[in-house]
Amino acid sequence: MDLRFLLKNIWRKWRKFWETISLIITKLLLGILYYTVFTLYRLVAKALRKDLLDLKMVESDKTYWKEKEKREEENYKQY
């Protein structure tokens, strides 16, 4: 048996093992990071009573539609 062949097989098995481990760790860490960041963000927004998406409707309004302000001067002579 050739030493090069033996080392090559060991290297392939080692690389396959670490590819599997890296996939597991990556998905686990990214999942934990994702849920931690967004959960904390949600808790802070809830504690400060912020409506960041402007979802609450004022009782005097009849619709959720918000009128935009006109900015014609920004579009004037663009080219």
Whole-model pTM: value is 0.48
User: Measured at the alpha carbon of residue 21, what is the angle toward residues 15 and 24, in degrees to the nearest 5?
Assistant: 145
Give the three-state DSSP class for 67. coil
User: Measured at the alpha carbon of residue 25, what is the angle toward residues 24 and 26, in degrees to the nearest 5?
Assistant: 95
For residue range 5-57, list pLDDT tens digits in order: 889 999 999 999 999 999 999 999 999 999 999 999 999 989 998 888 877 87
pLDDT at 76 over 80: no
* Domains of the chain by residue range: 1-53
